[in-house]
Amino acid sequence: MTSKVLTGLLAIGVVLGAGACGADKTEAAGATGDCGTSKGTLVVGVIAPMSGKLSAIGLGIRNSVRLAVEQANEKCAVKGYKLTMDAQDDEANPDKGATAAQRFADDVNIVGIVGPYNSGVARAIQPKIAAAKLLQISPGNTDPALSRGADFATAPKRQYDNYFRVVGTDDLQGPFNARYLVETEGRRKIAIITDGKAVGESSATEFAKEATRLGAEVVIREKVNENDSDFSTVLTKVKAKQPEAIFVGSEYHVAGPLSKQAKDLGLDVPISGTDGLFDPQFIALGGKEGDVVTSVGAPIEKLDSGKAFVAAYKEKNFPEGFGGFGAFGYDAANVVIASVGKVTANGDWSGSPEQRAELVGQVQAYKSDQGANGTIGFDQYGDSVNKMFTVYKVTSGAWKDVLSGQFEAK
């Protein structure tokens, strides 16, 4: 296992204009200064959960995209055009996400979608926008089937040419988590609890495969509902198996309370999981000392380019933090913006399927080592070429990174 941390350099202007939010949630993100905008307005769409249990993640994504759009306007990144952002709340609901995506697909001024966060929402969106060739870059989807199909492990096949993501996938992150938990922490008897959603099941299955390969035993696998608040029945079953750790295939709103209830029940073992747990809200909701998660990318504050993003975000004084996925939303938005700039340099934007397809081609060819999260680029499936993951542990009431590395198959 390597444990290098990718670094990059990114100069970011932080002179940010004031935005205005209309009734349709379209925000005029940033003043345009001396930039000519006679060619009109182009819109970066955002679909993310901005209310409900996952709002801490969605609001961080929304704010970070707005930051990217404002900076682009200050730098005249798309010559002749003003950029705005239209952020739609999917509430982590596939139907709401699909409705928003269809509206974006029908609007020729929408140049691309940053989102969604949830893989389940992405599955509903993908077919809605395929015919329109509308660009989609997710800052949070980790289900490998979205890009490589149901047989991703044995017969990968790209599903949609217009779909990309800037994060690593569960078939990499699950094993990365297992290697740390089994090899580094020596946990050999592991329980698994999932919330029944596809992405939670996928991450748990990939974790279990690697943990078993390494000699650990999955002593029990149980399900809860993501809307449950009392996990005592399942935890009682789990406690009887005397596990040394519990892998939770869900998100922070489930795993945080579950961690506290497990400890209160006398089951004081580490809770582990993947990126859906990596948020301050996990700790606020009951995550305890010693709980361990993995997340995509390197610690944002330790990359030079990441430090610049954090400084610019703080300068903006957003009421919400950028969360675990804001920096990925920022990177995704900057890919959209840079690629649109190249397309419109060859001719005015029409929003036709042919021009949207040209934009998709520009994104496929995009490469940079200056993203907030380090390297940005896409393989033949639209997956991120950046396979960096980080292990975080709750230490003195906060997340502390303990290991970063590129995933390597074994």
Domain locations along the chain: 26-168+299-378, 171-296+389-406
Q: Is the peptide bond before 175 cis (omega within 30 degrees of 0)?
A: no
Confidence of residue 196 (pLDDT cuts 50, 70, 90): confident
Asked if residue 408 has pLDDT above 60, the reply is yes
Higher pLDDT, 125 or 5: 125
Q: Give kind and range of the element (H or E) at residue 395.
A: strand 388-395
Mean pLDDT of all residues in 330-334: 98
| Closest by Cα among 165, 169, 140 to 152 | 169
| Cα–Cα distance for residue pair 239/241, rounded to 1 Å | 5
Q: Is the pLDDT of residue 78 over 50?
A: yes
pLDDT per position as a tens digit, 173-194? 999 999 999 999 999 999 999 9
Q: Flag whether pLDDT at 264 surpasses 60.
A: yes
Average pLDDT rounded to a whole number, residues 82-110:
98
Q: What is the pLDDT of residue 410?
A: 78
Q: What are phi and psi of 103, to 5 degrees?
A: -65, -40
pLDDT tops 70 at residue 13: no
Model-level pTM?
Answer: 0.87
Angle CA(48)–CA(370)–CA(282) in degrees, nearest 5? Answer: 40
Report the mean per-residue pLDDT for the chain: 91
Is pLDDT above 90 for 60?
yes
Q: Rounded distance, CA 354 to CA 78, Å?
A: 19
Does 15 have pLDDT greater than 60? no
State yes or no: pLDDT of 9 exceeds 80: no
For the record, the structure tokens of 370 come out as 């200056």
The answer to whether residue 269 scores a pLDDT higher than 70 is yes
Question: What is the predicted pLDDT for the residue at 199?
Answer: 85
pLDDT band at 25 (very low <50, low <70, confident <90, very high): very low
Over range 265-276, report the average pLDDT: 96
- Cα 401 to Cα 184, 297, 315, 321, 394: the distances in Å are 14, 11, 24, 18, 9
Average pLDDT of the residues in 1-29 = 37
Which CATH number is 171-296+389-406's, of 3.40.50.2300, 3.40.50.300, 3.30.420.40, 3.30.1330.30?
Answer: 3.40.50.2300
Banded model confidence at residue 409, pLDDT cuts 50, 70, 90: confident
Are both 26-168+299-378 and 171-296+389-406 of the same fold? Answer: yes
Assigned token pair, 208: 């279990």
| Per-residue confidence (pLDDT) for residue 399, from 0 to 100 | 96
Higher pLDDT, 23 or 345: 345
What integer pLDDT is reported at residue 34 of this predicted model?
65
| pLDDT, tens only, 273-302 | 999 999 999 999 999 999 999 999 999 988
Where does 56-188 show beta strands of DSSP type E? 81-89, 110-114, 136-138, 163-165
> Which residues in 199-346 belong to E strands, given as ranges?
217-223, 245-249, 271-273, 292-296
Q: Name the band, by pLDDT with cuts 50, 70 and 90, for residue 354.
A: very high
26-168+299-378 adopts what CATH topology? Rossmann fold (3.40.50)
334 close to 321: Cβ distance less than 8 angstroms: no
pLDDT exceeding 70 applies to what percent of the chain?
Answer: 92
